[in-house]
Every structure is written in structure tokens, then in C-alpha cells.
Amino acid sequence: MTRIFSGIKPSGHLTLGNYLGAVRQWVASDQEPDEALFCVVDLHALTVEHDPARVRRLTRQAATLLLAAGLDPQRCTLFVQSHVDEHTRLAYLLECTASDGELRRMIQYKEKAARAQGAGEGVRLSLLTYPVLMAADILAYGAQEVPVGEDQRQHVELTRDLAVRFNQRYGHTFTVPKATHPKVAARVMDLQEPTSKMGKSHENGAGIVYLLDEPEVVTKKVMRAVTDTGDGGVVYDRQARPGVANLLDLLAACTGGDPAALAGGYSGYGALKRDVADAVVELLRPVRERHAELAADPGAVEKVLREGAGRARALARPLVDRAHEAIGLLAP
């Protein structure tokens, strides 16, 4: 069995990018409670300006959506990061092996720090140390694989570096994990700005399909997607035609086809957009419907999260205890 760990941040409503890039892979994995761990990483949502009540609401909503998307609590462990103290315990130990320079080089740090400064907000220290906490999330469970979208590649690389460094300095403690990405849609782009990632914290929602958008809204967003100028019909070229390539990726991800081959079936953008809209609506319909059922019983979701945290803690504690001693701390 391969142990997998992955997480999602409750910093906004979940998007089609989250679903195709990550969540769908989690649902498709061979789930076993001790081998498949999925986490709503709420501590990570506190690294930029946040509204406390909203983070709490989004944490519950994210967990409910993950269940609606098909995570089975009998076959995987679903929990909330802040409910398992081992994450922050280990993060501190890893901070003692990471350097300021390597954290400042992280692309997401640079982008988010620039955004915070642009908005006249301070850059929280936790934004800089974010990838170390992420490394702790993964390493605390000895995860071998981390199913994520393309944008998390650099963070998983850092996790590997920290694991190797710790093992070399303090003796073998951590499994060195690797990132896995879906074949298509590992980086879903914004429908209005197809050179940027579709991200849940963008201000303008017109280019973002949210998992809970009504079918009419999904259709409207897809039909208004920015396409590219230039003739030559519908071709798959991510560099020269990012808007159309994104639509073809979406269609391929929904229907299981190959984006370049699908391009041959279209002579115009209108028909392509209509098919993409229909495919996305059908993909999301069962998730939305199941979410409505589950949201009616928040107590049941909370029970899943409580049991998940118990299992996660039992798995993480021995490993974090080992790291605690290895680095030079006295066992309590």
C-alpha cells in the first residue's frame, strides 16, 4: 500500500481547479483509513487577512464538499489540521532545519506577499513559514505520495529537501514523499484570464467555476470564457492559444478524451464552449446534490472530522515523537 496525504485550504469556495487538479484524484485513490489521509488545512487559511467566522464556515463547507465529492470516511481519514497538534509541533522542528532564503524563494510566497503589500496589509510571518507547515503536514504521516495540482510542485520539492536534510543530520526519520499530478487539468486556468491559475482567492469570480455554482451560472461563465484571436480553427496550443487550450483541457478532463484530439472535432469556439459547459455541469451535478444532503446534517460531518482527527493523531504522534528526540529534545 502507498500512503497518501493531501490537503485543501479553506480560504475561499472550492473551485473546479481544486476538484480536477486534486480532489478527483483523492476520490479515485485506493482508499484505506490508515493509508489515505485528507485534511482541511485551516491553519494555512490564517496566513493572509482573514475573517474568523468565514474561515470556520469554509472549513465545514470544504469538509462537506470533500465527502460530497466521494471521500468515504470508512475508507480514508478526513480531518481538520488544527485538530491535530502534531502538525504545529513538527513544523517548529522543521523550521529549525529550513533557511530563510529557501522560503523567500517560494513562488507562492512572492506572489502573495506582493499582493498583501499592494493592499497595504502587512505580510504575516506565517505566510513565509507556510511551506514548512505544509511539509510537516506531509512528513508527520510518512506519506509517500502527495496528490496535488501543478502549483504545489515547488512546495512538495521543499518538503523533500527538508526530509532529506533532517534524515542526514539527525538520523533516518522521514519518508521522502513525491508529488503526483493528474494527466490533464493539473493546472486549470482562469476563464477570464487564461494565463493565470483558476484560484479560489481571486477577487473576480467571473473566471472561476465554483463547485457549488448553479448550472446556469456555470454555463454563463463558460460561455463568456475568453478565447484567443487568430484563425486556424480550434487547435490545442497552450502557449499561443491559452484560452482555447484551457477549454479543451476541461473537456478532456470531464470526458476522458485527449485535448489535442478533441480539438479536431470543432470548427468554432461556440460549439466547444457549449460542450464544455454541459460537461462541467454534469460533472458537478452529483457533487452539488450530495452536498445539499450532507449540509442538512452538520452533526454527522463533525463526527466524521472528530473520528478522523483521532485516527490522524494516533498515526502522527509516534513519528513526531521520534523527530522530537532525534533533533535533540528530551522525551517528555
Q: Binding site membership for L-tryptophan: which residues?
A: 137
The stretch near ligand TYM (CB under 6 A) out of 146-154, 163-171, 257-265, 287-295 is: 146-154
Buried/exposed 221-241: b ≥16 CB within 10 Å, e otherwise:
bbeebbbeeeeeebbbebeeb
Nearest distance in Å: CB 47, ligand TYM: 9
Judged by CB under 6 A, the chain residues 204 through 223 that form the site for ligand TYM are none
The stretch near ligand TYM (CB under 6 A) out of 148-156, 217-225, 227-235, 286-294 is: 148-156
Nearest distance in Å: CB 329, ligand TYM: 24
Which of 35, 42, 137, 275 lies at the binding interface for ligand TYM (CB under 6 A)? 137
181: nearest Cα among 45, 13, 17: 17
Residue 146 or 226 having the CB closest to ligand TYM: 146
Using CB under 6 A as the binding criterion, the count of chain residues that bind ligand TYM stands at: 27
Which of 69, 71, 91, 134 lies at the binding interface for ligand TYM (CB under 6 A)? 134
Q: Is 42 exposed, middle or buried (0-12, 13-18, 19+ CB in 10 A)?
A: buried
Nearest distance in Å: CB 287, ligand TYM: 15
Residue 20 or 304 having the CB closest to ligand TYM: 20
Residues taking part in catalysis: 112, 197, 200
Report which residue's Cβ sits closest to ligand TYM: 21
Phi, psi (degrees; rounded to nearest 5) at 78: -115, 130
3 state DSSP class of 306: helix
Residue 242 binds to ligand TYM (criterion: CB under 6 A): no
Which of 113, 148, 245, 252 lies at the binding interface for ligand TYM (CB under 6 A)? 148
42: nearest Cα among 74, 12, 86: 12
Residue 84 binds to ligand TYM (criterion: CB under 6 A): no
Nearest distance in Å: CB 330, ligand TYM: 29
Q: Other CB atoms closer than 10 Å to residue 180's CB: what's the count?
A: 17
What is the number of alpha carbons within 13 Å of residue 200 lying toward its C-beta? 19
Q: In angstroms, rounded to a whole number, what is the distance separating the alpha carbons of residues 210 and 188? A: 12
Residue 127 or 272 having the CB closest to ligand TYM: 127
Which run of H or of E encompasses 294? helix 269-295
Q: Which amino acid, one-letter code, is at 302?
A: E
Nearest distance in Å: CB 148, ligand TYM: 3
Which of 65, 69, 90, 146 lies at the binding interface for ligand TYM (CB under 6 A)? 146
Cell reading at 200: 479560489
Binding-site residue set:
9-11, 17-18, 137, 149-151, 188, 197-201
Q: Are 148 and 179 in contact (CB under 8 A)?
A: yes
Nearest distance in Å: CB 84, ligand TYM: 12
Judged by CB under 6 A, the chain residues 3 through 62 that form the site for ligand TYM are 5-9, 17-18, 20-22, 41, 44
Q: What are the Cα distances from residue 281, in Å, to 171, 209, 275, 330? A: 51, 10, 10, 56
Residue 187 binds to ligand TYM (criterion: CB under 6 A): yes
Axis-axis angle for helices 242-255, 269-295 (nearest 10): 50
What DSSP line would sit under 168-199, residue for residue?
A: HHH-S-----EEE--SS-SSPBPSSSTTSB--
Residue 198 binds to ligand TYM (criterion: CB under 6 A): yes
**Contacts with ligand TYM, residue ranges (CB under 6 A):** 5-9, 17-18, 20-22, 41, 44, 134, 137-138, 146, 148-149, 151-152, 155, 186-188, 197-199
